[in-house]
Structure 1
């Protein structure tokens, strides 16, 4: 990751210094890695022979640049960028040459280059990248930028490709370049914000979303993102300690499935530690089989156990894009990604609530409210997506219905609760929820019918569910002035548990009303 991972156009800062000849150089540069020095070009992962060749091409390109032969320099710099998309230095030189070339063309023609997003160039790059043809993707990108240095479509497509390959420095550099060209562009800001958030740069991601809001003040996605990222930034700056939320903390930890599966009873003595793979080994396994999801899941479990939920999310998202396998295996990874995302927001909410209790300031109260809103929104979206994937699963329907009810969307919750009745193990509980939803929207007959169905279904079930059903039915009947029905259900409740809520007082009230008649 670069020392200055991403700078918004307003700041004007750079992660490198401008050399006297106009090329952008790293300030700590030493002889090239192929010559035995430091890996200043960031190409140490390439074969030695390739490193030697690219360094020679780069030096030749720099000499052509100094002579003013920008066309030939472009061809050479583009070769370096295409073959080594991991090198920020190659990319900086490539852009510096294009900038000088554009200035020369502007002086000679009197016209500036056209700016904008080229959908054709972007789609061609994306198509090549989707096939794993990375060399071709970057060659196409370099050619698009030769035609127009301000092609934001090509820049964002190249940023996406770098993100896929894990070259974060270069991904953010391409996005910075695109924002230099079009600082108010909606799509560019959204893409930049997503990349910045994924890499933990919350303040600058907020800046991108705020630029979206300047043009679209009512954009709900942007508003929620600013709120969510404000929480993330505060937690991050506060030095969040994952140990506070470990197995003995407020939320607990999920046992990684593959680790748990290695510790079946009888497999080994209880005091023998479960074997766990380390991060380098798992990364090597992913590199060896980038389309196999197993190592990704193991590494995500490791990150999870260490409290590195951002890292786990990024890894699982990359797994989904690269993995092969059955639809069921894809669902396993997607569910794990969603669960990790929600756990991260839940932990942020717990931390915000602790801060609120400790500080007792308006700012900490607002932070806790924003954290709660961010969690509830994400929780609802995740469970809606799960229902969409498995519409016939009553358990998924029930989980979604609970969340719809919690955020006040009771009409939508009713539909989901009705679908959840197919799960015979929780019919009584579902019917009570249905009754509460119907009662809130003033469908009192339907509410009473649901409460009575809950009472019937709970006859041999959970006594607490039965007591709640009796109480709800009795209270609703009182509200409807149906004293006979109210007395019937509340008397049955009192016979089971006379101390339940205020059932005795309600029966006295019914007696008084009967006496007045």
Structure 2
């Protein structure tokens, strides 16, 4: 049908058909190639029609019906064929960068850089579904690891977007079914991230930054004991050290190793100090240290952590309430 519409010059309808086919079969390169080709044909036809209109206008200029030129009035002379407006030149065909890349992919389907650039254009416009389809098409023709890892990134991003949409629906509907759907999608997102980082660590077994990321995903799904060893890999990097110490502290606290956990929180707060990029990590470490110290009845220590946190962020969670409670304990002791 799309081809029949194209032959009839109904390019918009033909392009719409090919877009539907593209959605049904995102792995096929044919729809993208035809969309790019039809866009070119449509633009060229529009240019020809504009040129034909200009020529017709020049031919339809009123004649003088045999009246000698000297008897022709001034307006008639201005409308004579010799003085008619010249045909307008054809417009220069200008494609958007996205259309150019689609055409390049259709012409050279094995050129990986075109797929990557097109995917980035889609991502810049928050069109994650289109970016995902482009990278899936690229995987059909290339084993380039850059494409694989970018597709993994986009898949994780898409999963997070679906969780966010489900959370928004749940906030509106306020039903058990909608809350269950949020949890289901969240767990799917966690499992996807875990699989991605397991595979990346398998491809690059010596990359300790990837090991740290794997540790975060293991912790995310509740595999705490398994997470400790890869999380420790983050201690070797200055920019990850504070976060790694904080996460290890939380796992140690879960296993009731309270003194070691408190030490990890203290170290995390110290290592994050003075770095604006790790401000959130420092606040979280101070809060966790204060809560744990209070539970261990180390009230002066807890008060110190909460006081330092309150100076940085007075409205952080319930830090003011906790300080007030510690003050009451001090007054009655």
Q: Considering the TM-score relative to the shorter chain, is it more than 0.5?
A: yes
Partners of 1:282 and 1:295 within 8 A in 2: yes
Matches for 1:241-252 after TM superposition, within 5 Å:
none
Structure 2 CA distance for aligned equivalents of residues 407 and 483 of structure 1: 33
Match of residue 472, structure 1, among 288, 296, 306: 288
Residue 97 (structure 2) pairs with residue 275 (structure 1):
yes
**Cα deviation, residue 381, structure 1:** 1.0
d(CA) in 2 for partners of 1:199 and 1:460?
Answer: 52
Q: 2:167 and 2:301 mapped to 1: Cα distance? A: 44
- What SS does structure 2 have at the residue aligned with 1:481? coil
Question: How many Å separate the matches in 1 of 2:328 and 2:223?
Answer: 38
- 1:436 matched to 2:268: no
- Alpha carbons of structure 1 residues 490 and 309: separation in structure 2 relative to 1, 3 Å: closer
Q: Any stretches of 5+ residues in structure 1 without a counterpart? A: 1-197, 201-271, 324-329
1:410 maps to what in 2?
224
**Distance (Å, rounded) in 2 between the aligned partners of 1:508 and 1:281:** 66
- Give the Cα–Cα distance (whole angstroms) in 1 for the partners of residues 324 and 178 of structure 2: 46
Q: State the distance in 2 between where 1:445 and 1:506 align.
A: 21
Q: What is the match of residue 64 of structure 2?
A: none
Q: 1:479 deviation in Å?
A: 1.0
- The answer to whether the aligner puts 1:422 opposite 2:236 as a matched pair is yes
Q: Which residue number in structure 1 is paired with residue 193 of structure 2?
A: 379
Query: 1:297-335, CA deviations, whole angstroms, 9 ceiling, x for partnerless residues?
Result: 356557766633563353133234xx4xxxxxx331220
Q: CA RMSD in A?
A: 3.4
In 2, the alpha carbon distance for the partners of 1:418 and 1:379 equals 19
Normalised TM-score (structure 2): 0.58
- Higher deviation after alignment, 302-311 or 332-341: 302-311
Aligned counterpart in structure 2 of residue 312 of structure 1, from 126, 134, 144? 134
Report what 2:155 is aligned to.
Answer: 341
The alpha carbon displacement at 1:476 in A equals 0.9
Measure how far apart 1:512 and its partner are: 4.4
What is the correspondence of 1:58-457 to structure 2 with a 5 Å cutoff? 199=25, 275-276=97-98, 277-286=100-109, 290=110, 292-298=111-117, 300=119, 307-308=129-130, 311-320=133-142, 323=143, 330-357=144-171, 363-457=177-271
Question: How far off its partner does 1:494 sit?
Answer: 4.5
Q: Structure 1, residues 460-516: CA drift from partner, whole Å, max 9, x if none?
A: 224443333222222211211223432343344445555544444434434544565
- What is the CA–CA distance in structure 2 between the aligned matches of 1:373 and 1:504, rounded to whole Å? 34
- Provide the residue aligned with 1:215 in structure 2: none
Rounded Cα–Cα distance in structure 1 between residues aligned with 2:255 and 2:297: 19
* Structure 2, gaps ≥5 residues long: 1-23, 27-93
Residues 300 and 315, structure 1, Cα contact 8 Å, conserved in 2: no
**What is the alpha-carbon distance in structure 1 between the residues aligned to residue 185 and residue 315 of structure 2?**
37
- The answer as to whether partners of 2:118 and 2:131 remain within 8 angstroms in 1 is no
Which SS does the other structure have where 1:308 is aligned?
helix
Alpha carbons 1:345, 1:375 under 8 Å: kept: yes
2:293/2:301 contact within 8 Å kept: yes
**C-alpha contact 2:246 2:285 (8 A) present in aligned 1:** yes
Q: CA deviation at 1:359?
A: 5.2
- Residues 132 and 151 in structure 2, CA contact (< 8 A), matched pair in contact too: no
Deviation, 1:342, is 2.2
Aligned residues between the structures: 237
TM-score computed with the length of structure 1 as normaliser = 0.40
* d(CA) in 2 for partners of 1:428, 1:337: 30
CA offsets, 1:220-258, max 9 Å, x none?
xxxxxxxxxxxxxxxxxxxxxxxxxxxxxxxxxxxxxxx
How much does 1:444 deviate? Answer: 1.1
- Cα shift at 1:360: 5.2
Aligned counterparts of 1:503 and 1:360: Cα–Cα separation in 2: 30
How far off is 1:451 after superposition? Answer: 1.0
Q: In structure 2, the residue corresponding to 1:421 is in which secondary structure?
A: helix
TM-superposed CA distance for 1:285, in Å, is: 0.5
Cα deviation, 1:123-163, whole Å, max 9, x if unaligned, reads xxxxxxxxxxxxxxxxxxxxxxxxxxxxxxxxxxxxxxxxx
The CA deviation at 1:357 is 4.8
Is 2:322 the partner of 1:509?
no
The reply to whether residue 490 of structure 1 matches residue 312 of structure 2 is: no
State whether residues 115 and 134 of structure 2, in contact with CA within 8 Å, keep that contact through their aligned partners in structure 1: no
